[in-house]
Amino acid sequence: MARRDRVRGFRYSRWDGTQVGFDLDADALLSEMSDDLLYHGDLNAALRRMLQQGFRDRNGDRLMGLREMIERLRQRRRDELERRNLGGAYDDIAERLEEIVEKERAGIDRRVNEAHQTDDRRRQEIVDDLASERRMELDLLPPDLAGRVQELQHYDFMDDDARREFETLMDELRQQLLQSYFNQLSEGMNNVSPEQLVRMKDMLAELNHMLEQRERGEEPDFKGFMERYGDFFPGNPQTLDELLEQMARSMAQMQSLLNSMTPEQRAQLQGLAQALLEDLDLRWQVDELARNLQDAFPNLPWNQRMQFSGDDPLQFAQMSGLLETLGDLDQLENLLRSATQPGQLAEVDVDQARDLLGDDAARSLERLAELARMLEEAGLIEQREGRYELTPKGVRAIGQRALSDLFRKLMKDRAGRHEAERSGVGNERAFDHKPYEFGDPFHLNVEQTIRNAIYRGGTGTPVRLSQADFEVERTEVLTQSATVLMLDVSLSMPMRDNFLAAKKVAMALHALITSQFPRDYFGLVSFGRVAREVKPELLPEMSWDFEWGTNMQHALLLARRQLARESGTKQIIMVTDGEPTAHIEHGEAVFQYPPSPVTIEETLKEVARCTRDGIRINTFMLDESYYLRSFVERMMRMNRGRAFFTTPDTLGDYVLVDFLEQRRAQRRAS
């Protein structure tokens, strides 16, 4: 019963597009980045740009890119600085000290009154003398904050409440000062008892010693150090370098704050630090650590100034919180700026990012960190020698998407399918059968033939066959075609915004041939100043040449050599936006613009060789210049191929429709 109840707890309904879910999947991610990948030919760069720019998932929700997050972090930093003013940094301390002094004066008066209410004259004299001495000490307190703190530390209070308040203030100031220097020690400094401060001094001494050991090439005992003092470091650093970097960033932030103060403000803080730390020998350890860390991490902002410009006075008690916030902002910005792969975002503290940037950014970071993992698990990409590369499945997926996009566009105007008559003389089984008719190839389907005889004559042996029982296999018309795509990758292609469209057509044509006509041959030749054979599986990574030159002669030579190894109908599909301006001479590329007569003639010689070998050349022009049109007309007269003037928007329509029509014509002719 319990199990049946649990099953009834699940409800299923038909997907109607309104339900929310499955907002990211590997196919959608690859589709999102495919145009970028095809244009630049670099999977890792496409992943980086996706991280930087963000994108929308299938629900239409936008994932924030790292570039926007970094700008938000910088704006948050500007807001913090533009709101604050350092002018009142010590006003709150001065006010509390003044209150303590006034309480001490009132306590002195009370003690004197209490003594005079007794008949003990000796007590009255002692209290009067002591009160006179204490009042003089209070009157002679230095005007500067650090001096007042230092003097009061040696002052013998007569009022117990004033003494307790001063000790409490000193403990708070020590904690705030140390947290300002080391915001990474916030948990370890929750308790500022004398014993804990002594531990901190010992910890800093060991840390300075380890830095000296490392400088001498020795191996410090980091593990033992963390066993003794790990409670000071809530970030749980795993290495000495990680720990030192955390502390160096904190101290650099504090130094930036000092740099931003006026000389008077800076002197007050330094004097206050001296007064608070000198008795515990902490000051020397702090200064020594600052020097060591500045030598170890010279690139941190030790000399940077913060541009405080607001009206809200920054109190001393707020310094550690502000420095911690600014440190977190800088640390997150550095991490995001250095992230080149999605997996590196796993190091981000998502809760901290949520506090600094909000829920949308935290959600985006979680999704962005999963990009590469999702693509890897789907088998679309894989890591080789520290770089991501497309798998064969990934190449097919991009090609199928390009093909689907083009067919979807074609279906708006015309049928995009390419059916042919299925039955006829051939040797390729169609996995279907039919009653035998005179003239059919006698590819007997034994199973169905015997079954027909049993249906007709009943069970028993022997089974006797008649002509009416024979069933034969249907066969498909088998034609074979060999196609080489010649793709112009000269510099003019990206400059005229033709490259991406041409490459998507190449991907689509490759996907069409390998999926619908798997026995056909598909080759690829790219040509700029020189031509190169390109393996179809490397097509997504192909980019343009950063040189001038359109070497059709070399490309036709390579395409003709590829087709010489194939049988069946042979054709070259050439996509270009310019006339031939280069040719190979004595093994070197010769370039000239406008085209030299030699280049034209050498190219036409290759056209003639292709024609003699029975290779049809169909040209798709992405430019209507006089030179290109004139050359293509000469080439058509020699080769009897076809030429089309297209645009990037219509190139795919022309190429695919022409290919399918020719393929259909071949089947009808077979």
Q: What is the DSSP string of 469-483?
A: G-EEEEEE----EEE
Model pLDDT, residue 561: 93
Model pLDDT, residue 3: 39
Confidence of residue 414 (pLDDT cuts 50, 70, 90): very low
Confidence of residue 368 (pLDDT cuts 50, 70, 90): confident
User: In 3-state terms, what secondary structure has residue 226?
Assistant: helix
Residue 535 reports pLDDT greater than 70: yes
* Stretch among 376-380, 419-423, 514-518, 622-626 having the lowest mean pLDDT: 419-423
Considering only residues 89 and 580, tell me which one the structure prediction assigns the higher pLDDT.
Answer: 580
CATH 3.40.630.30 fits 481-669, yes or no: no
Model pLDDT, residue 9: 46
Considering only residues 438 and 328, tell me which one the structure prediction assigns the higher pLDDT.
Answer: 328
Model pLDDT, residue 15: 46
Residue 428 reports pLDDT greater than 50: no
Model pLDDT, residue 563: 92
Residue 224 reports pLDDT greater than 80: yes
Q: Mean of the pLDDT values across residues 181-194? A: 57
* Backbone angle region of 365, left / alpha / beta, with phi > 0 → left and psi within -120 to 50 → alpha: alpha
* Stretch among 122-136, 169-183, 455-469, 519-533 having the lowest mean pLDDT: 169-183
- What span, in angstroms and rounded, lies between the C-alpha atoms of 148 and 142? 5
Residue 434 reports pLDDT greater than 70: yes
Model pLDDT, residue 301: 79
Residue 82 reports pLDDT greater than 80: yes
Q: What is the pLDDT of residues 7-53, one digit of tens each?
A: 444 454 554 544 444 456 676 776 777 776 666 666 777 777 877 88
Q: Mean of the pLDDT values across residues 501-516? A: 78
Locate CATH 3.40.50.410 in the chain.
Answer: 481-669
Type and span of the H or E element at 313: strand 312-313
Model pLDDT, residue 420: 35
* Stretch among 173-177, 239-243, 452-456, 585-589 having the lowest mean pLDDT: 173-177
Mean of all residue pLDDT scores within the chain: 77
Backbone angles phi, psi at 561, to 5 degrees: -65, -40
Model pLDDT, residue 5: 42
- What span, in angstroms and rounded, lies between the C-alpha atoms of 560 and 553? 11
Model pLDDT, residue 261: 78
Highest mean pLDDT among 21-25, 197-201, 665-669: 197-201
Tokens of 197: 């401060």
Q: Which residues are CB-contacts of 343 (< 8 A; sequence separation ≥ 6)?
A: 369, 372, 373
Q: What is the pLDDT of residues 570-624, one digit of tens each?
A: 888 888 888 898 999 888 888 888 889 999 999 999 999 999 999 988 887 777 7
Q: Of all residues in the chain, what percent carry a pLDDT higher than 70?
A: 79
Model pLDDT, residue 631: 86
Confidence of residue 405 (pLDDT cuts 50, 70, 90): low
Model pLDDT, residue 509: 79
Q: Mean of the pLDDT values across residues 119-133? A: 88
Q: Mean of the pLDDT values across residues 617-632? A: 80
- What span, in angstroms and rounded, lies between the C-alpha atoms of 530 and 24? 42
- What span, in angstroms and rounded, lies between the C-alpha atoms of 570 and 621? 20
Model pLDDT, residue 656: 60
* Stretch among 93-102, 262-271, 330-339 having the lowest mean pLDDT: 262-271
Residue 655 reports pLDDT greater than 80: no
Confidence of residue 101 (pLDDT cuts 50, 70, 90): very high
Considering only residues 30 and 229, tell me which one the structure prediction assigns the higher pLDDT.
Answer: 229
First-to-last C-alpha distance (Å) of the chain: 66
Q: Mean of the pLDDT values across residues 521-539? A: 87
- What span, in angstroms and rounded, lies between the C-alpha atoms of 396 and 537? 9
Model pLDDT, residue 415: 37
Model pLDDT, residue 274: 73
pTM for this one? 0.58
The amino acid present at 491, given as its one-letter code, is L
Closest listed residue to residue 276, CA positions, set 393, 139, 169, 404: 169
Closest listed residue to residue 49, CA positions, set 338, 399, 341: 341
534 strand-pairing partners: none
Q: Mean of the pLDDT values across residues 70-93? A: 82
Model pLDDT, residue 108: 92
Question: What is the DSSP annotation of 490-521?
Answer: STHHHHTT-HHHHHHHHHHHHHHHHHH-TTSE
Confidence of residue 427 (pLDDT cuts 50, 70, 90): very low
Task: Give Cα separations from 630 to 254, 589, 609, 627 (angstroms).
Answer: 73, 23, 20, 5
